[in-house]
Amino acid sequence: NAGVTQTPKFRILKIGQSMTLQCTQDMNHNYMYWYRQDPGMGLKLIYYSVGAGITDKGEVPNGYNVSRSTTEDFPLRLELAAPSQTSVYFCASSYSGGGYQETQYFGPGTRLLVL
């Protein structure tokens, strides 16, 4: 049981390039999330998904896109990288159903540097 895994661990992008951050969970959680963490700031929610095929915006969605075709995977897409997207990105997952809601569990993060 690996929990939440993320790839890559670290990436350097040039301004205007695109990339996809991968996130996979093996806990059969229905909810998945993407956060970014900047120095001195709390984690900010970018997008989240309540299940395959259903996504919604968080606090800071501009410049990002997501899709969720399976329960396990929730990739985050950066189309035109900008220096403001330099950050550490965390994927998380949780289970919610029948009035019961579990804690969000986080992956190890992807550090992205846009130059």
Partner 1 sequence: EDQVTQSPEALRLQEGESSSLNCSYTVSGLRGLFWYRQDPGKGPEFLFTLYSAGEEKEKERLKATLTKKESFLHITAPKPEDSATYLCAVQRAGFQKLVFGTGTRLLVSP
Q: Is 17 in the site for partner 1 (CB under 8 A)?
A: no
Q: Is 109 in the site for partner 1 (CB under 8 A)?
A: yes
- CB under 8 Å to 114, separation ≥6 — which residues? 12, 13, 14, 15, 81, 82, 83, 84, 85, 86
Going by the DSSP 8-state scheme, the letter that residue 82 receives in this structure is -
Site residue total, partner 1 (CB under 8 A) = 24
**Binders of partner 1 in range 47-86 (CB under 8 A):** 48, 50, 58-59
Q: Is 95 in the site for partner 1 (CB under 8 A)?
A: no
Q: Strand 44-51 to strand 31-37: parallel, antiparallel, or no bridges (unpaired)? A: antiparallel
Neighbouring C-beta atoms of residue 99, cutoff 10 Å: 5
For partner 1, give the closer residue by CB, 57 or 80: 57
Q: Which residues bind partner 1 (CB under 8 A)?
A: 4, 31, 33, 40-45, 48, 50, 58-59, 90, 94, 96, 101, 103-109
